[in-house]
Amino acid sequence: MKWFRILVFLLILAFSHRLQAQTATVTWGTAHQTMDGFGGDTWLYQPTYSPSQLNLFFNPTSGIGYGIVRTDNGGCQINYSASACPVETSTMPQLSTVRNAVTDGAAVELTIFPPANLKYSGNFSTTSIGADGSCVDTSNFSALATFTVNWIEMMNANDAPVTYLFPFNEPNLNKSQLGACQWGATGIDSYIKVLGPALSSAGLGSVKIGIADVSSWFNPDLVSACLNDSACAQYVSIVSGHGYGTSGAPDGFTPQTGYCCNTASAAPSAAAGKHIWMNEVNGGHTYQNSYAFWTWDTSMSDALVWARNIHDYLTIANVSGYLYWELADCCYPGEGTGSFNDGLSLIDAATVGARYYVIGNWSKFIRSGWVRIDTTSNPQTGIYVTAFKDPTGTSYSIVALNSNSSATSQTFSFSGFPTTTSVTPYTTTSSDAGLVEQASEAVSSSAFTYTLPAFSVTTFVGSTAAASNKEPTPPTGLTDTVR
Protein backbone atom coordinates (compact mmCIF):
# COMPACT_ATOMS: atom_id res chain seq x y z
CA MET A 1 0.00 0.00 0.00
CA LYS A 2 2.87 2.34 0.85
CA TRP A 3 4.44 1.93 -2.60
CA PHE A 4 1.02 2.41 -4.21
CA ARG A 5 0.59 5.73 -2.41
CA ILE A 6 4.04 6.83 -3.47
CA LEU A 7 3.27 5.91 -7.07
CA VAL A 8 -0.01 7.84 -6.98
CA PHE A 9 1.78 10.86 -5.49
CA LEU A 10 4.44 10.76 -8.21
CA LEU A 11 1.79 10.50 -10.93
CA ILE A 12 -0.10 13.46 -9.50
CA LEU A 13 3.14 15.45 -9.26
CA ALA A 14 4.08 14.62 -12.85
CA PHE A 15 0.58 15.56 -14.06
CA SER A 16 0.75 18.82 -12.12
CA HIS A 17 4.12 19.70 -13.67
CA ARG A 18 2.75 18.88 -17.11
CA LEU A 19 -0.21 21.21 -16.60
CA GLN A 20 2.12 23.95 -15.37
CA ALA A 21 4.41 23.53 -18.35
CA GLN A 22 1.47 23.76 -20.74
CA THR A 23 0.18 27.01 -19.24
CA ALA A 24 1.49 30.27 -20.65
CA THR A 25 1.73 32.57 -17.64
CA VAL A 26 1.67 36.26 -18.56
CA THR A 27 3.18 38.44 -15.82
CA TRP A 28 1.97 42.03 -15.82
CA GLY A 29 4.66 43.45 -13.55
CA THR A 30 7.75 41.96 -15.22
CA ALA A 31 8.77 44.28 -18.04
CA HIS A 32 11.35 43.72 -20.76
CA GLN A 33 12.10 46.06 -23.67
CA THR A 34 10.10 49.13 -24.69
CA MET A 35 9.00 48.82 -28.30
CA ASP A 36 9.85 51.33 -31.04
CA GLY A 37 7.72 49.43 -33.53
CA PHE A 38 7.62 47.40 -36.72
CA GLY A 39 8.20 48.59 -40.25
CA GLY A 40 9.58 48.14 -43.73
CA ASP A 41 11.69 49.73 -46.43
CA THR A 42 10.87 51.84 -49.45
CA TRP A 43 13.73 52.48 -51.83
CA LEU A 44 14.82 53.45 -55.31
CA TYR A 45 13.66 50.34 -57.17
CA GLN A 46 10.25 49.88 -55.62
CA PRO A 47 7.12 50.36 -57.70
CA THR A 48 4.74 53.28 -57.58
CA TYR A 49 2.03 52.55 -55.04
CA SER A 50 -1.59 53.58 -55.10
CA PRO A 51 -2.88 55.24 -51.91
CA SER A 52 -4.87 52.09 -51.06
CA GLN A 53 -1.76 49.95 -51.39
CA LEU A 54 0.22 52.23 -49.09
CA ASN A 55 -2.60 52.22 -46.55
CA LEU A 56 -2.22 48.45 -46.33
CA PHE A 57 1.17 48.95 -44.74
CA PHE A 58 0.96 52.05 -42.61
CA ASN A 59 -2.67 52.75 -41.79
CA PRO A 60 -3.48 51.36 -38.34
CA THR A 61 -7.17 50.89 -39.21
CA SER A 62 -7.29 49.61 -42.79
CA GLY A 63 -3.76 48.17 -42.79
CA ILE A 64 -1.26 46.50 -40.49
CA GLY A 65 -0.14 49.75 -38.91
CA TYR A 66 3.59 49.75 -39.65
CA GLY A 67 5.04 52.40 -37.33
CA ILE A 68 8.39 52.85 -39.09
CA VAL A 69 9.18 53.58 -42.73
CA ARG A 70 12.80 53.05 -43.68
CA THR A 71 14.27 54.96 -46.61
CA ASP A 72 17.61 56.19 -47.96
CA ASN A 73 19.42 58.45 -50.40
CA GLY A 74 19.80 55.70 -53.00
CA GLY A 75 18.55 58.06 -55.69
CA CYS A 76 22.08 59.43 -55.81
CA GLN A 77 22.85 56.44 -58.01
CA ILE A 78 20.61 57.56 -60.88
CA ASN A 79 22.60 60.50 -62.25
CA TYR A 80 25.38 60.97 -59.72
CA SER A 81 27.09 57.59 -59.39
CA ALA A 82 30.54 59.15 -59.93
CA SER A 83 30.12 62.68 -58.58
CA ALA A 84 28.72 64.77 -55.77
CA CYS A 85 25.01 64.22 -55.20
CA PRO A 86 22.76 67.27 -54.85
CA VAL A 87 20.53 67.34 -51.80
CA GLU A 88 17.14 67.87 -53.40
CA THR A 89 13.77 66.15 -53.65
CA SER A 90 14.36 65.12 -57.27
CA THR A 91 17.08 62.77 -56.03
CA MET A 92 14.62 60.94 -53.78
CA PRO A 93 11.95 59.20 -55.91
CA GLN A 94 10.48 57.42 -52.86
CA LEU A 95 9.65 60.68 -51.05
CA SER A 96 5.92 60.46 -51.80
CA THR A 97 5.77 57.00 -50.21
CA VAL A 98 7.51 58.30 -47.11
CA ARG A 99 5.10 61.22 -46.86
CA ASN A 100 2.12 58.89 -47.09
CA ALA A 101 3.53 56.74 -44.31
CA VAL A 102 4.05 59.82 -42.13
CA THR A 103 0.43 60.84 -42.73
CA ASP A 104 -0.59 57.45 -41.33
CA GLY A 105 1.55 58.01 -38.25
CA ALA A 106 4.82 56.27 -39.17
CA ALA A 107 8.20 57.54 -37.99
CA VAL A 108 10.93 57.97 -40.63
CA GLU A 109 14.17 56.01 -40.52
CA LEU A 110 16.88 57.32 -42.84
CA THR A 111 19.95 55.42 -44.04
CA ILE A 112 22.67 57.58 -45.60
CA PHE A 113 25.04 56.16 -48.20
CA PRO A 114 28.13 58.36 -48.72
CA PRO A 115 28.05 60.20 -52.07
CA ALA A 116 30.67 59.25 -54.64
CA ASN A 117 32.80 62.39 -54.22
CA LEU A 118 33.48 61.58 -50.55
CA LYS A 119 34.47 57.92 -51.00
CA TYR A 120 37.86 56.39 -51.76
CA SER A 121 36.34 54.63 -54.76
CA GLY A 122 34.85 57.79 -56.24
CA ASN A 123 31.77 55.75 -57.14
CA PHE A 124 28.46 55.56 -55.30
CA SER A 125 28.01 51.83 -55.97
CA THR A 126 31.50 50.48 -55.37
CA THR A 127 33.73 50.40 -52.34
CA SER A 128 37.41 50.57 -51.52
CA ILE A 129 38.77 51.17 -48.05
CA GLY A 130 41.53 52.95 -46.16
CA ALA A 131 43.73 51.79 -43.33
CA ASP A 132 40.89 51.92 -40.82
CA GLY A 133 38.75 49.64 -43.00
CA SER A 134 36.36 52.43 -44.00
CA CYS A 135 35.21 53.65 -47.40
CA VAL A 136 35.51 57.33 -46.47
CA ASP A 137 38.78 59.03 -45.52
CA THR A 138 38.78 60.73 -42.13
CA SER A 139 39.44 64.03 -43.90
CA ASN A 140 35.96 63.75 -45.43
CA PHE A 141 34.11 62.86 -42.22
CA SER A 142 33.05 66.47 -41.61
CA ALA A 143 31.80 66.82 -45.19
CA LEU A 144 29.83 63.57 -44.89
CA ALA A 145 28.27 64.78 -41.64
CA THR A 146 27.27 68.04 -43.37
CA PHE A 147 25.78 66.09 -46.29
CA THR A 148 23.78 64.02 -43.78
CA VAL A 149 22.54 67.11 -41.92
CA ASN A 150 21.49 68.71 -45.22
CA TRP A 151 19.62 65.58 -46.28
CA ILE A 152 17.72 65.44 -42.99
CA GLU A 153 16.85 69.14 -43.26
CA MET A 154 15.59 68.59 -46.82
CA MET A 155 13.34 65.76 -45.68
CA ASN A 156 12.12 67.69 -42.63
CA ALA A 157 11.17 70.60 -44.89
CA ASN A 158 9.17 68.27 -47.16
CA ASP A 159 6.81 66.65 -44.66
CA ALA A 160 9.06 63.63 -44.04
CA PRO A 161 10.63 64.42 -40.65
CA VAL A 162 13.49 62.09 -39.73
CA THR A 163 13.28 60.36 -36.34
CA TYR A 164 15.98 57.70 -36.75
CA LEU A 165 19.33 57.97 -38.58
CA PHE A 166 21.42 54.96 -39.58
CA PRO A 167 24.76 56.14 -41.05
CA PHE A 168 25.90 52.64 -42.10
CA ASN A 169 24.40 49.80 -44.13
CA GLU A 170 25.98 46.34 -44.07
CA PRO A 171 29.41 47.87 -43.45
CA ASN A 172 31.02 44.42 -43.25
CA LEU A 173 30.46 43.67 -46.94
CA ASN A 174 32.62 44.48 -49.94
CA LYS A 175 29.98 44.55 -52.62
CA SER A 176 29.30 46.36 -55.86
CA GLN A 177 25.70 47.35 -55.27
CA LEU A 178 23.56 50.30 -54.40
CA GLY A 179 25.40 52.52 -51.93
CA ALA A 180 28.22 50.03 -51.31
CA CYS A 181 30.42 51.21 -48.45
CA GLN A 182 32.53 49.28 -45.97
CA TRP A 183 33.31 50.62 -42.51
CA GLY A 184 35.71 49.34 -39.88
CA ALA A 185 35.04 49.51 -36.14
CA THR A 186 37.61 52.29 -35.71
CA GLY A 187 36.13 54.31 -38.56
CA ILE A 188 32.60 53.94 -37.12
CA ASP A 189 33.81 55.12 -33.72
CA SER A 190 35.63 58.11 -35.21
CA TYR A 191 32.81 59.14 -37.57
CA ILE A 192 30.04 59.06 -34.94
CA LYS A 193 32.13 61.47 -32.84
CA VAL A 194 31.98 63.88 -35.80
CA LEU A 195 28.36 63.20 -36.80
CA GLY A 196 26.87 63.57 -33.30
CA PRO A 197 28.13 67.12 -32.72
CA ALA A 198 27.16 68.09 -36.30
CA LEU A 199 23.56 67.05 -35.66
CA SER A 200 23.49 68.92 -32.35
CA SER A 201 24.91 72.09 -33.91
CA ALA A 202 22.20 71.99 -36.57
CA GLY A 203 19.45 71.64 -33.97
CA LEU A 204 18.92 67.97 -34.84
CA GLY A 205 20.10 66.49 -31.56
CA SER A 206 16.76 64.71 -31.11
CA VAL A 207 17.42 62.49 -34.14
CA LYS A 208 18.26 59.04 -32.80
CA ILE A 209 21.42 57.47 -34.25
CA GLY A 210 21.59 53.71 -34.83
CA ILE A 211 24.70 51.59 -35.53
CA ALA A 212 25.89 49.47 -37.36
CA ASP A 213 23.57 47.20 -39.46
CA VAL A 214 26.03 44.35 -40.10
CA SER A 215 24.47 41.88 -42.56
CA SER A 216 24.67 38.79 -40.34
CA TRP A 217 23.37 40.18 -37.05
CA PHE A 218 26.47 41.22 -35.02
CA ASN A 219 28.98 39.03 -36.82
CA PRO A 220 31.44 40.73 -37.03
CA ASP A 221 31.01 43.02 -34.04
CA LEU A 222 31.43 46.56 -35.40
CA VAL A 223 29.56 48.30 -32.57
CA SER A 224 31.46 47.58 -29.36
CA ALA A 225 34.39 49.87 -30.15
CA CYS A 226 32.02 52.85 -30.22
CA LEU A 227 29.86 51.65 -27.33
CA ASN A 228 32.92 51.19 -25.11
CA ASP A 229 34.05 54.73 -25.95
CA SER A 230 31.90 57.14 -23.95
CA ALA A 231 32.71 59.96 -26.37
CA CYS A 232 31.04 57.90 -29.12
CA ALA A 233 28.40 55.99 -27.18
CA GLN A 234 26.75 59.19 -25.92
CA TYR A 235 25.41 59.83 -29.43
CA VAL A 236 24.06 56.31 -30.04
CA SER A 237 20.45 55.38 -29.17
CA ILE A 238 20.03 52.16 -31.16
CA VAL A 239 22.27 49.17 -31.81
CA SER A 240 21.17 47.26 -34.89
CA GLY A 241 21.88 44.36 -37.19
CA HIS A 242 20.45 42.62 -40.21
CA GLY A 243 19.25 39.04 -39.95
CA TYR A 244 20.78 37.32 -42.95
CA GLY A 245 22.26 33.88 -42.51
CA THR A 246 21.63 30.24 -43.34
CA SER A 247 20.42 28.74 -40.09
CA GLY A 248 16.76 29.36 -40.78
CA ALA A 249 13.74 28.74 -38.59
CA PRO A 250 13.02 25.50 -36.69
CA ASP A 251 9.88 23.35 -36.66
CA GLY A 252 10.09 22.29 -40.28
CA PHE A 253 9.63 25.76 -41.78
CA THR A 254 13.23 26.43 -42.70
CA PRO A 255 13.59 28.02 -46.15
CA GLN A 256 14.93 25.63 -48.74
CA THR A 257 18.20 27.50 -49.28
CA GLY A 258 19.64 31.00 -49.48
CA TYR A 259 20.49 33.43 -46.71
CA CYS A 260 17.27 33.76 -44.71
CA CYS A 261 17.45 33.77 -41.67
CA ASN A 262 20.08 34.17 -39.00
CA THR A 263 19.22 32.59 -35.66
CA ALA A 264 18.42 35.25 -33.07
CA SER A 265 21.03 35.86 -30.41
CA ALA A 266 21.77 38.54 -27.83
CA ALA A 267 23.48 41.74 -28.93
CA PRO A 268 27.03 42.36 -27.69
CA SER A 269 27.20 43.12 -23.97
CA ALA A 270 28.43 46.63 -24.74
CA ALA A 271 24.93 47.39 -26.08
CA ALA A 272 23.42 47.25 -22.59
CA GLY A 273 21.09 50.20 -22.06
CA LYS A 274 20.54 50.82 -25.79
CA HIS A 275 17.54 49.84 -27.87
CA ILE A 276 18.23 46.84 -30.12
CA TRP A 277 16.79 46.65 -33.64
CA MET A 278 16.47 43.92 -36.22
CA ASN A 279 16.70 46.47 -39.01
CA GLU A 280 16.46 44.28 -42.14
CA VAL A 281 15.69 40.72 -43.13
CA ASN A 282 13.95 39.03 -46.05
CA GLY A 283 13.79 35.81 -47.98
CA GLY A 284 11.14 33.17 -47.78
CA HIS A 285 10.14 29.56 -48.02
CA THR A 286 10.27 28.91 -51.78
CA TYR A 287 13.63 29.34 -53.47
CA GLN A 288 14.18 28.95 -57.21
CA ASN A 289 17.71 27.72 -57.83
CA SER A 290 17.71 28.52 -61.55
CA TYR A 291 16.78 32.10 -60.73
CA ALA A 292 18.93 32.22 -57.57
CA PHE A 293 16.22 34.05 -55.73
CA TRP A 294 12.97 33.54 -53.83
CA THR A 295 9.70 33.22 -55.68
CA TRP A 296 6.47 34.94 -54.72
CA ASP A 297 5.08 32.71 -52.00
CA THR A 298 1.74 33.50 -50.36
CA SER A 299 1.69 30.33 -48.25
CA MET A 300 1.34 29.96 -44.51
CA SER A 301 4.47 27.79 -44.54
CA ASP A 302 6.39 30.85 -45.71
CA ALA A 303 4.60 33.09 -43.21
CA LEU A 304 5.49 30.86 -40.26
CA VAL A 305 9.17 31.37 -41.04
CA TRP A 306 8.61 35.03 -40.24
CA ALA A 307 6.37 34.42 -37.26
CA ARG A 308 9.06 32.37 -35.55
CA ASN A 309 11.76 34.83 -36.64
CA ILE A 310 9.88 37.74 -35.05
CA HIS A 311 9.16 35.76 -31.89
CA ASP A 312 12.81 34.79 -31.43
CA TYR A 313 14.19 38.27 -32.03
CA LEU A 314 11.69 39.67 -29.54
CA THR A 315 12.38 37.12 -26.82
CA ILE A 316 16.04 36.17 -27.32
CA ALA A 317 17.55 39.35 -28.73
CA ASN A 318 15.03 41.64 -26.96
CA VAL A 319 14.62 43.86 -30.02
CA SER A 320 12.61 47.07 -29.77
CA GLY A 321 12.35 47.44 -33.55
CA TYR A 322 11.78 44.82 -36.24
CA LEU A 323 11.80 45.71 -39.95
CA TYR A 324 11.07 43.31 -42.77
CA TRP A 325 13.02 44.54 -45.79
CA GLU A 326 10.65 45.45 -48.60
CA LEU A 327 7.08 46.63 -48.89
CA ALA A 328 7.11 45.44 -52.49
CA ASP A 329 9.96 44.62 -54.83
CA CYS A 330 10.52 46.07 -58.27
CA CYS A 331 13.07 45.96 -60.96
CA TYR A 332 16.38 45.91 -59.12
CA PRO A 333 19.11 44.98 -61.65
CA GLY A 334 19.47 41.22 -61.66
CA GLU A 335 16.06 40.65 -60.09
CA GLY A 336 13.96 40.89 -63.24
CA THR A 337 11.74 43.52 -64.79
CA GLY A 338 8.15 44.66 -64.56
CA SER A 339 6.05 46.73 -62.20
CA PHE A 340 6.20 44.14 -59.42
CA ASN A 341 8.65 41.32 -58.81
CA ASP A 342 7.80 40.03 -55.41
CA GLY A 343 9.97 37.20 -54.19
CA LEU A 344 10.94 39.30 -51.18
CA SER A 345 7.80 41.36 -50.74
CA LEU A 346 4.68 41.45 -48.59
CA ILE A 347 2.32 42.22 -51.48
CA ASP A 348 2.29 42.16 -55.26
CA ALA A 349 0.07 44.04 -57.70
CA ALA A 350 -3.03 41.95 -56.91
CA THR A 351 -2.39 39.65 -53.96
CA VAL A 352 -1.38 39.75 -50.34
CA GLY A 353 1.07 37.23 -48.93
CA ALA A 354 0.36 35.41 -45.69
CA ARG A 355 3.61 36.88 -44.35
CA TYR A 356 1.91 40.31 -44.51
CA TYR A 357 -0.87 39.21 -42.18
CA VAL A 358 1.47 37.33 -39.87
CA ILE A 359 3.67 40.39 -39.35
CA GLY A 360 0.44 42.33 -38.79
CA ASN A 361 -0.30 40.18 -35.74
CA TRP A 362 2.41 42.20 -34.04
CA SER A 363 2.59 45.50 -35.95
CA LYS A 364 -1.14 46.25 -35.88
CA PHE A 365 -1.61 45.70 -32.17
CA ILE A 366 1.77 46.54 -30.58
CA ARG A 367 2.58 50.20 -31.02
CA SER A 368 5.56 52.43 -30.25
CA GLY A 369 5.92 52.84 -26.50
CA TRP A 370 4.35 49.50 -25.65
CA VAL A 371 6.38 47.26 -23.35
CA ARG A 372 7.01 43.55 -23.74
CA ILE A 373 6.01 41.80 -20.54
CA ASP A 374 7.05 38.41 -19.32
CA THR A 375 5.31 35.24 -20.45
CA THR A 376 6.08 31.56 -20.83
CA SER A 377 7.78 31.74 -24.22
CA ASN A 378 7.39 28.08 -25.25
CA PRO A 379 4.71 26.52 -23.00
CA GLN A 380 4.42 23.34 -25.05
CA THR A 381 5.78 21.80 -28.23
CA GLY A 382 5.25 24.05 -31.23
CA ILE A 383 3.62 26.92 -29.29
CA TYR A 384 5.43 30.27 -28.91
CA VAL A 385 4.04 33.26 -27.02
CA THR A 386 4.89 36.95 -26.60
CA ALA A 387 2.94 39.55 -24.61
CA PHE A 388 2.84 43.35 -24.41
CA LYS A 389 1.09 46.19 -22.60
CA ASP A 390 0.55 49.80 -23.57
CA PRO A 391 2.25 52.72 -21.72
CA THR A 392 -0.91 53.60 -19.78
CA GLY A 393 -1.46 50.07 -18.52
CA THR A 394 -4.98 49.88 -19.94
CA SER A 395 -4.47 47.63 -22.99
CA TYR A 396 -2.51 44.49 -23.72
CA SER A 397 -1.88 42.03 -26.56
CA ILE A 398 -0.73 38.41 -26.50
CA VAL A 399 0.59 36.83 -29.70
CA ALA A 400 0.59 33.02 -29.94
CA LEU A 401 2.19 31.04 -32.77
CA ASN A 402 1.10 27.45 -33.34
CA SER A 403 3.58 25.72 -35.64
CA ASN A 404 1.93 22.33 -35.10
CA SER A 405 0.05 20.56 -37.88
CA SER A 406 -2.99 20.14 -35.62
CA ALA A 407 -5.11 22.48 -33.53
CA THR A 408 -3.68 22.82 -30.03
CA SER A 409 -5.42 23.81 -26.80
CA GLN A 410 -3.48 26.45 -24.88
CA THR A 411 -4.21 27.91 -21.44
CA PHE A 412 -3.16 31.49 -20.67
CA SER A 413 -2.87 32.55 -17.04
CA PHE A 414 -2.65 36.18 -15.90
CA SER A 415 -0.33 37.03 -13.02
CA GLY A 416 -0.60 40.44 -11.34
CA PHE A 417 -3.01 41.79 -13.96
CA PRO A 418 -5.49 44.58 -13.25
CA THR A 419 -9.10 43.50 -13.73
CA THR A 420 -9.70 42.07 -17.20
CA THR A 421 -12.82 40.19 -18.25
CA SER A 422 -12.30 39.13 -21.87
CA VAL A 423 -9.94 38.99 -24.83
CA THR A 424 -10.68 39.28 -28.54
CA PRO A 425 -8.70 36.87 -30.78
CA TYR A 426 -7.53 37.79 -34.29
CA THR A 427 -6.27 34.83 -36.31
CA THR A 428 -4.16 34.21 -39.39
CA THR A 429 -4.33 30.68 -40.78
CA SER A 430 -3.80 28.91 -44.10
CA SER A 431 -7.54 28.31 -44.47
CA ASP A 432 -8.81 31.64 -43.15
CA ALA A 433 -6.25 34.17 -44.30
CA GLY A 434 -6.15 37.71 -43.04
CA LEU A 435 -6.38 39.10 -39.56
CA VAL A 436 -9.79 37.66 -38.82
CA GLU A 437 -11.63 38.80 -35.72
CA GLN A 438 -13.11 35.94 -33.70
CA ALA A 439 -15.68 35.83 -30.91
CA SER A 440 -14.47 37.20 -27.58
CA GLU A 441 -13.20 34.79 -24.96
CA ALA A 442 -14.11 35.25 -21.31
CA VAL A 443 -11.33 35.54 -18.75
CA SER A 444 -12.29 33.64 -15.60
CA SER A 445 -10.18 33.35 -12.44
CA SER A 446 -7.39 35.22 -14.26
CA ALA A 447 -7.14 32.65 -17.06
CA PHE A 448 -8.62 31.51 -20.34
CA THR A 449 -8.10 28.54 -22.63
CA TYR A 450 -8.17 28.77 -26.42
CA THR A 451 -7.72 26.23 -29.19
CA LEU A 452 -5.07 27.62 -31.52
CA PRO A 453 -5.70 26.53 -35.13
CA ALA A 454 -3.06 24.43 -36.87
CA PHE A 455 -0.28 26.43 -38.53
CA SER A 456 -1.56 29.75 -37.23
CA VAL A 457 -0.78 33.01 -35.49
CA THR A 458 -3.35 34.45 -33.09
CA THR A 459 -3.31 37.81 -31.33
CA PHE A 460 -5.45 38.23 -28.22
CA VAL A 461 -6.36 41.87 -27.62
CA GLY A 462 -7.57 42.88 -24.18
CA SER A 463 -8.26 45.87 -21.99
CA THR A 464 -8.04 46.53 -18.28
CA ALA A 465 -10.31 49.58 -18.59
CA ALA A 466 -14.01 49.86 -19.50
CA ALA A 467 -14.87 47.84 -22.57
CA SER A 468 -15.58 51.03 -24.53
CA ASN A 469 -12.17 50.87 -26.17
CA LYS A 470 -12.78 50.03 -29.80
CA GLU A 471 -10.68 47.20 -31.22
CA PRO A 472 -8.71 47.86 -34.44
CA THR A 473 -10.42 46.92 -37.68
CA PRO A 474 -8.83 44.03 -39.60
CA PRO A 475 -6.99 45.01 -42.82
CA THR A 476 -8.90 45.39 -46.06
CA GLY A 477 -7.77 46.41 -49.51
CA LEU A 478 -5.98 44.22 -52.06
CA THR A 479 -7.59 41.00 -53.20
CA ASP A 480 -6.77 38.22 -50.75
CA THR A 481 -5.59 35.11 -52.57
CA VAL A 482 -3.60 33.55 -49.74
CA ARG A 483 -6.12 30.74 -49.42
Strand ranges inside 249-377, DSSP E: 275-280, 287-288, 293-294, 321-326, 371-375
pLDDT at 65: 97
- Identify the bridge partners of residue 34 per DSSP, sorted by sequence position: 371
- Identify the bridge partners of residue 23 per DSSP, sorted by sequence position: 411
pLDDT at 280: 93
Question: Which are the contacts of 13, defined by CB distance < 8 A and separation ≥ 6?
Answer: none
Over residues 349-367, mean pLDDT: 92
| Cα–Cα distance, 55 to 48 (Å, whole number) | 13
pLDDT at 346: 86
Cis ω before 181 (30° cut-off from 0)? no
Per residue in 22-64, pLDDT tens? 999 999 999 999 999 999 999 887 767 888 888 999 999 999 9
Question: 399, 407, 429: which is closest to 304 by C-alpha?
Answer: 429
Per residue in 329-340, pLDDT tens? 665 444 444 455
pLDDT at 471 > cutoff 70: no
Q: Could you tell me where the DSSP H helices lie in 202-287?
A: 224-227, 230-233
Q: Is 149 helix (H, G, I), strand (E, B) or coil?
A: helix
Query: Is 412 within 8 Å of 26 (Cβ atoms)?
Result: yes
Confidence of residue 161 (pLDDT cuts 50, 70, 90): very high
**The CATH fold of domain 36-368:** TIM Barrel (3.20.20)
pLDDT at 51: 83
Per residue in 277-288, pLDDT tens? 999 998 755 665
Per residue in 199-257, pLDDT tens? 999 999 999 999 999 999 999 999 999 999 999 999 999 999 999 876 554 454 444 44
Confidence of residue 474 (pLDDT cuts 50, 70, 90): low
Quick check: pTM over 0.85?
yes
Q: Show me where the domains of the chain are located.
A: 36-368
Q: What is the DSSP letter of 453?
A: P
To the nearest 10°, the Cα dihedral for 364, 367, 368, 372? Answer: -120
pLDDT at 326: 85
pLDDT at 179: 92
DSSP string, 41-71: E--TTPPPPPHHHHHHHH-TTTS----EEEE
